[in-house]
Structure formats: C-alpha cells, structure tokens
Structure 1
Amino acid sequence: MLFRQLFDAETSTYTYLIADPATKEAALVDPVVEQVDRDLKLIGELGLTLRYCLETHIHADHVTGTGRLRQLTGCEGIVPQNANAACADRYIGDGETIKIGEISILAIATPGHTDSHAAYLINGDRVLTGDSLLIRGCGRTDFQSGDAGILYDVIVGQLFSLPDETLVYPGHDYRGHTVSTIGEEKQHNPRFAGQDRDSFIELMDNLNLPNPKKIMEAVPANERCGKIPAFL
C-alpha cells in the first residue's frame, strides 16, 4: 500500500493519500482546496489515478478540495451518511467498504463532533479519525449539532474497541504530532483516560473555545463540495 500524510499549515489539516501500487488507483481523504495543486502534482508524479475523495465530515475550519478535484480528475466525492451535502456523488454508511485495488477502506460512523462523521479503517491496521479522536485530544462538540455524550460513546465503544496496535491518523494536529495508536490514546489521552461519560460531557461543555476562523466561509462552502456561495 502507498500511504502519504500531507499537511496544510494554515489550518493544521491532514490530508491522506491512499493508493494500490499494483492498480495505481488512489483516494484522497479530507483534501484542502488550497492544496489541490500539490495533491495533483504528487498523484501525477506517482502515476496514480484518483478514484475517490472522501470526507470525514462537513468541515468548519477549511474549504474542501473535493469539488475542484472532481472537476479536474472525474473522481467521486463521498461524504458520510446524513451529511448535508447534496452535491456529493455518494453517501457512505457505517460498515460500508470502498475498495482501492486490493486496499479496503471501511467506514465507521463516529458522530459527536458533528452530527454526521466517519472514520476510515484502512486495511485493518490504521484508522483515519478525522476530527473525532485526535492525538491526546478529541474534536469539540459545541457547534454543527455536536454532542459530547455521543462522541464519548463512539470513541470508547467503537474506536477504542480496535486493536491497541491500530495506528491513529487524525484530521488535525496543532502540536506537531503525526501518528499515535489506539493503545496510546486509551492510556494517555486526557479527554478519556480516567474519565467517565459524565465527566467527559462536563469537560467538553466547559472548553469555551473560539470559533474556527473560517467557519462562516467553510461550512456553507463544504455543503456545496467546496464551492463558496456568492453571498460570502
């Protein structure tokens, strides 16, 4: 498997390139519009064909590159089930699998940060967690119909049930971390280690974080697969 972790410094967003080296089929997860040229250059250099762009959720901190990539490559845009994105080619539900050559991409429904969110388990050994589980943290739950109790349930009940050695690749990191494991996060993530559901909800309800700088632009644009509405 070909696997690349790509970074957008302005929004601290990770984009992931996954490809089968035999068939040259590829997928991008959570592309960023400002990085489309970078991503296409890499795909071309590696001789790949982009089949899919997958979103973990409707982002509030960056505008997706899916719409532009779809125009330029003919790839399919895929969003989690129930996401407010009528422009998507396909919605993916919990337990559904996409194949990239011999590579399996399994969707795991992980709502809570937003009301529609998916993590993607790649070949059973690494999970792209989007904004649900972060390295030593988790996504906020105070907008876009977030729910702290639901987020606790899906992380503890779904993601923490994966084998401890499963690699964790988040959608963002603000402190220079690139990868963790499920075992590490169970033991060392302060949002979960030593917390129960009630204390987690109380913690999340009192974070008092500022809104993402791009939220007014990003959410309506991402509901249109990256097309910024004319009124913004």
Structure 2
Amino acid sequence: MASAALRVAVRQLSQHSRAGAPVLLRQMFEPKSCTYTYLLGDRESREAILIDPVLETATRDAKLVKELGLRLLYAVNTHCHADHITGSGLLRSLLPGCQSVISRLSGAQADLHLEDGQSIHFGRFVSWMLRCARTLYRSVHEKIFTLPGDCLIYPAHDYHGLTVSTVEEEKTLNPRLTLSCEEFIKVMDNLNLPKPQQIDVAVPANMRCGVQTPPS
C-alpha cells in the first residue's frame, strides 16, 4: 500500500512538470509521517537538491537521483523535524559529494548552515530563502497575497491525500489565510498541536542533521 501511494504521488506531479521545463521537479511521499520530499534539478547542469528527505525513503530518493542522471549537491532540511528522522545523513553516504543543509538558528549540526535571508544555488536556480522564526508567519501571510492566483503550491506535509494546491485556492478555502495577518499570527502561535509520535527519537537524531558519525 505504501509503495502504491509513492507511485501515485510521483505520477500526479509529473502532469505538472513539462518534459522540456528547465527545472526538473519530483514530489515523493513518506506515508508514516505524511512528509513530502522534493527533488529539484537543473536539466542543463544536472545539479540537484532534495528538500526534506526522510530516513526510511532515502535509498529510494538516491536511486531516483541516479536514474535521472543528476548530481545531488544538497540535502536540505527546512527545520529540525520532530515527526521523522532526516535522510540527509544516509544520502551523504549513498551520494558522495552531497552536503546536509539547515538553518543556523536551528542549533543542529550540518555540513552547511544558512543565515536568515541566505539562499543556495543548483545550476541556474535559487532554491532556498531562509526566514527566522520571528518573521516566518508574517512573511508567509504577506507573500501568499503577492503571488499569482494560478501559482502552484506544494505542501511539506499532507494528511488528506492532496498533493498540490494553488494560491487562489488557499486564499479562498484555507480558513487561516482568510484571516488578517495579525489574526493569522495569533492562530499559528496558539495551535497547541499534539506531540509528534516520533519526537523523542527524531529530534536528537535531527540535531545532528544527518551528520551521523558512529562513536569510535
């Protein structure tokens, strides 16, 4: 059942990624934590990055990178995840030359730390714009209203089987984004979500951000 879900996610995304588009985009799913991993590649230079890889699916992701003839530069963690262990450590072993990346503000180890507002490049493209926690919610709310309505939005997690949305759909149907910016920030600061099931294992491992050197 899990493998079927993975195939569906990738096939659905391929409909949105034209064969001749300069950026190669693939969306992969990990069912236990409902996490999406994104592979972005420059078709010309063959340089690529993976965003939010998961340990259990890192071998699958490395296989896809090789099959597509890409060179993985970075395994990027958007934050220190509490719901899954990052696959960046295993990817560094499977794909030599790949570096793990995370925000310096996370306090986690990595090969490369990014500062607020910094970006990384793969081929001709910029893939990452970092915001510190104090400005994240305001930045998200403000940014969503400056984008074209038909701009596609791909989730980091999904618990309802949805793989893609649009800016217009989110502005119209997302109950949080129909709020004012200040109301949105207040709601996000007081979600009181349940404790993630893997938090006790995931956070200590992810504080190493994939730099998982065995003890001597």
TM-score range, shorter chain: 0.7 to 0.9
| Alignment partner of 2:98 out of 75, 88, 98 | 75
Q: CA RMSD in A?
A: 2.4
* Structure 2 contact 154–163 (Cα < 8 Å) conserved: yes
1:210 paired with 2:179, answer no
**Matched residue, 1:225:** 209
Structure number with the higher strand fraction is 1
**Matched residue, 1:185:** 170
**Matched residue, 1:65:** 87
For residue 62 of structure 1, what is the amino acid of its counterpart? H
1:201 paired with 2:174, answer no
* Structure 1 contact 110–155 (Cα < 8 Å) conserved: no
| Alignment partner of 1:155 out of 132, 136, 140 | 140
* Structure 2 contact 103–130 (Cα < 8 Å) conserved: no
TM-score, scaled to structure 2 = 0.78
Distance 1:168 1:209 in 2: 23
* Structure 2 contact 34–159 (Cα < 8 Å) conserved: yes
Q: Deviation string for 1:202-226 (max 9, x for gaps)?
A: 5762x44321100111111101124
**Matched residue, 1:164:** 149
1:38 paired with 2:60, answer yes
**Matched residue, 1:118:** none
Stretches of structure 2 lacking an aligned partner (at least 5 in a row): 1-22
Indicate the percent of aligned positions where both proteins have the same amino acid. 44
1:14 partner SS: strand
Structure number with the higher helix fraction is 2
2:178 partner SS: coil
* Structure 2 contact 171–178 (Cα < 8 Å) conserved: yes
Stretches of structure 1 lacking an aligned partner (at least 5 in a row): 113-149
How many matched pairs?
191
* Structure 2 contact 102–112 (Cα < 8 Å) conserved: yes
1:93 paired with 2:77, answer no
| TM-superposed deviation, 1:199 | 6.8
